[in-house]
Amino acid sequence: MIGIIYVGSINRCPYLKNYTSCLDELSIDYEIISWDRSASTQNESVEFTAKKHHIFNYPSKEQRNPIYKISDFYRFSRYAKKIIRKQKYEKLIVLTTMSGVVILKELRTRYKNNFIFDYRDASFEYFGPFKSILNKIVVNSSFTSISSKGFLQVLPKNMNYVMAHNCSSFETCIDNNKIKNSKVVVGYIGGLRETDYMKSLVDRFGNDDRFEFIIHGGGENLQELIDYSEGISNVVFTGEYQELQKSKLVKEFDLICYNYPNSFVNDLALANKFYDGLLFRKPLIGNNSTYSGKLIEKQSVGISLDFEDKEYKKKLYNYYINYDAQSFEESCDKLLAEIQSENYFYKKKIKEFFVNGN
């Protein structure tokens, strides 16, 4: 029996499928231990065939100060450890850093070299004690899967890392029937978490006849952003969307906005938007001082700029008007082939771990 640990709702863990699909294919039983931090019923439309799903129902707001969340994580730690000791899983899958932090003792003893650590986000690695704990999780894992090679800048050197892209489908979409707009449609899609950043985008593109700025996504600050953009005709907030709608929404973009502001979290990560650009054949707008922005430029799949550049919009507009669509699509094909190869190796390593062990 395999145990899968995740300190959150499985609805927000799409990469869970990377492991459950392999387990299902190999006919290996598994259980999931997760934490519904909103203390509501988790969406059982998420497909998996776990023998049992242990859900820790305890409210803990994401925006709460990390200091005050320590007691919440301690409660989940006790819950998870109790189940792990009772069920005596043969091996573990540890999804995200905090899932490993709360069961660190078990990972260094009973499950040493007998778990996969799935690392998805940088968070508090600049804090010495936290980084020390992270290093211990990596060192004791059978291997660590990473969703961005940028993370290698903060992870321990010379460990066993496997690239795990946030991309499960490689079905590309080239919409040759898209009607050319009189304006360049810049599209943002995803959760609206950073209010100041979104307002800066509204300020940047608002009331410029060359652009139309469309934002698909929800969040606690959605109404505030709608109010902020009131009266600006070329800026539209559409609100939350269902994942099945994403393809249709992205098709209407000319460029995908992926110029996240600099932060410890953003600088090294590689978001789903990067893959959306490749699959839907939409050039990406990146931040030239982040890992993703440099990758966009290196792979010729968009343009990366300094957001404070006084000629930002001029350079962006000229890029779109003059870019070579055929050359861009060839760059997308080349990069997607590399990604697909790395994902194949990732799945191979998962299966080898389940079947052969260390």
Tell me the three-class secondary structure of 122-181, residue by residue: CCCCCCHHHHHHHHHHHHHCCEEEECCHHHHHCCCCCCCEEECCCCCCCCCCCCCCCCCC
* 136 and 248 belong to one structural domain: no
What CATH number does residue 212 fall under? 3.40.50.2000
26 is a domain residue: yes
* 98 and 225 belong to one structural domain: no
* 317 and 235 belong to one structural domain: yes
* 145 and 232 belong to one structural domain: no
* pLDDT, the chain, mean: 91
> What angle separates helix 272-279 from helix 325-356, to the nearest 10 degrees?
130
> In which residue are the tokens 């968009």 written?
302
CA 163, CA 22: separation in Å to the nearest integer? 16
354 is a domain residue: no
* 135 and 231 belong to one structural domain: no
- CA nearest neighbour of 166 among 92, 74, 297, 272: 272
* 143 and 19 belong to one structural domain: yes
* 86 and 137 belong to one structural domain: yes
* 149 and 295 belong to one structural domain: no
* 7 and 150 belong to one structural domain: yes
Query: Which of 164, 196, 211 is at the close of a domain?
Result: 164
* 100 and 220 belong to one structural domain: no
| Model pLDDT, residue 42 | 47
172 is a domain residue: no
171 is a domain residue: no
pLDDT digits (tens, 9 = 90+) for 321-331: 999 999 999 99
348 is a domain residue: no
* 211 and 150 belong to one structural domain: no
Q: How many domains does the chain have?
A: 2
142 is a domain residue: yes
Domain that holds residue 146: 2-164
| Model pLDDT, residue 94 | 98
16 is a domain residue: yes
**Low-confidence residues of the chain, pLDDT below 50?**
41-44
* 160 and 209 belong to one structural domain: no
| Model pLDDT, residue 37 | 82
118 is a domain residue: yes
